[in-house]
Structure formats: C-alpha cells, structure tokens
Amino acid sequence: MSAMLTVDNLSIHYGVIQAVKNVSFEVNEGEVVTLIGANGAGKTSILRTISGLVRPSEGSISFLGESIEKAPARKIVANGLSQVPEGRHVFSGLTVMENLEMGAFLHNDREQNQKNLKMIFERFPRLEERKNQDAATLSGGEQQMLAMGRALMSRPKLLLLDEPSMGLAPIFIQEIFDIIQDIQKQGTTVLLVEQNANKALAIADRGYVLETGKIVLSGTGQELLASDEVRKAYLGG
C-alpha cells in the first residue's frame, strides 16, 4: 500500500493557544484510519487543517504526492478529498435532493452525477424516500446519512469523517459504522475521527491516540483495542 495522505510535524495554533503539537501520521490507500481521543485533543483541528479550512503554523500535508497545506479548500475537494463535518451541517431550507446536488458542485458531468446519485440512493434508501423533504426535518441519523451522501457526490478518493456517531441513537450508530465499512469496500479510503473508540477501532486498519494535541500511541485497530492504556482511558476497561 502507498501513502495517500502524509501529515508531517503538524502544529496548529489559535492565537497563542497551541491545539496540535508536532503530529505526524499516514493514511494508506484503501485503509480506514482512525484518530481517537477526548474532547479538545485536537482531532477536529487536524481534519479541518487537512481540508484547507485552517492553516497550520508548522508542518506539511501531502495528498496523492502533492503538498496541500497552503491549497484552498476548493482545490483540495477537486483533487479528491472531502470532509463530513462534525454536527453534519446539512443545508436547512433545501431538500434532500438539493443537498446532494450541492456535493457535486465541482463536477459538470451530468451523466456521471446521475450515476453517483443512483449509487447514493442504493446505499441510503431512506434518502431517496425523503428526497423532496426539507433536510432540516430529517432525524439525526438520516441527516448523518445525508451529510455522508453529499460528500460522496464529490467522488472522493479520501473521505474525512468527523464524529459521525455523535448524538445518534444506538441503532443508527451501528448502521453508520456498517456504512463506513461498505464505503471502504467500494474503494474509498477513510480517515475517521471518533469518540466512540470501541466502534472506531473495531473497523479501523490502524489508529492513532491523541492527547492534548499530541499522538501518544499508535497501532493496528486490534492492537489498540487490546491495549490496557486505551481500554482504561477510552473503553471503560
């Protein structure tokens, strides 16, 4: 496997506050890689920086061999990297269909967009049932599916997921993690930020544990699940 994403010596500041300290990791093509850690550990800051929404104070980010730490977010999306933000952020006042169409705004190939839409509806049949419904009226789980579908409409090579299980009922949580595995099987690489460490590590090829902006532990998903340190801190063991 080759490295699709390389983050090297990344530091992020908000004014005088350092949120991320010299973080380095890789995501290889075809993997699910997870970043786990408590609130405030720096997970979301890392994703937002990879996506071009925050500028790093130090370090480099390479995607498909190209440096992107100074690239505009629009170009990063066009190159094949999309993020599903924490809290979903669907567009209220727009229908489910209109939200999905927003995900394809960089692609003018109507025929390919229709194929992508068909794939989204096959993966998320509830979205097709509610395609003319205001996105704001969906349940939390359905909004998460819509946010994921919207990101997949941009045809990403790498999908960043920020806390996809947050605030969801248990039945939706399992469904979301099943969908993440399906997305990987269909050929999309996934970088997953998640507080539900048990679920995340169970599906991850590899994982990194963040504490106060630094990586303190790394390994395969199964190695981290079996780690006493991880069990005590994140799995209630």
pLDDT digits (tens, 9 = 90+) for 219-231: 999 999 998 888 7
Name which of 81-90, 103-112, 206-215, 220-229 the model is least confident about: 103-112
Q: How confident is the model at residue 109 (pLDDT cuts 50, 70, 90)?
A: confident
SS3 content of the chain, % helix, strand, coil (to 5): 40, 30, 35
**Position with higher pLDDT, 189 vs 115:** 189
Mean pLDDT over residues 2-6, rounded?
A: 91
What topology does CATH give the domain 3-90+157-234?
Rossmann fold (3.40.50)
Helix (H, G, I), strand (E, B) or coil at 147: helix
Give the lowest-confidence range in 60-64, 78-82, 143-147, 171-175. Answer: 171-175
Report the greatest alpha carbon distance in the chain.
51
Q: Which residue has the tokens 């990297």?
A: 81
CA distance linking residue 147 with residue 220, whole number of Å = 28
Q: What is the pTM of this model?
A: 0.91
Average model confidence (pLDDT) across the chain: 92
The domain limits of the chain are 3-90+157-234
151-207 pLDDT tens trace: 999 889 999 999 999 888 888 899 899 999 999 999 999 999 998 899 999 999 999
pLDDT value, residue 171 = 84
Spatial distance between the Cα atoms of 135 and 27, rounded to a whole number of angstroms = 32
67: left (phi over 0), alpha (psi -120 to 50) or beta: beta
Assign 236 a pLDDT band (cuts: 50, 70, 90): low
Distance CA 115, CA 227 (A): 43
Neighbours of 98 (CB within 10 A): 14
Distances (CA, A) of 79 to 67, 69, 100, 153: 12, 13, 19, 14
Quick one: angle between helices 110-123 and 96-103, nearest 10?
120
DSSP-derived secondary structure for 188-227 = -EEEEE-S-HHHHHHH-SEEEEEETTEEEEEEEHHHHHH-
Spatial separation of the C-alpha atoms in residues 30 and 33, rounded to whole Å: 10
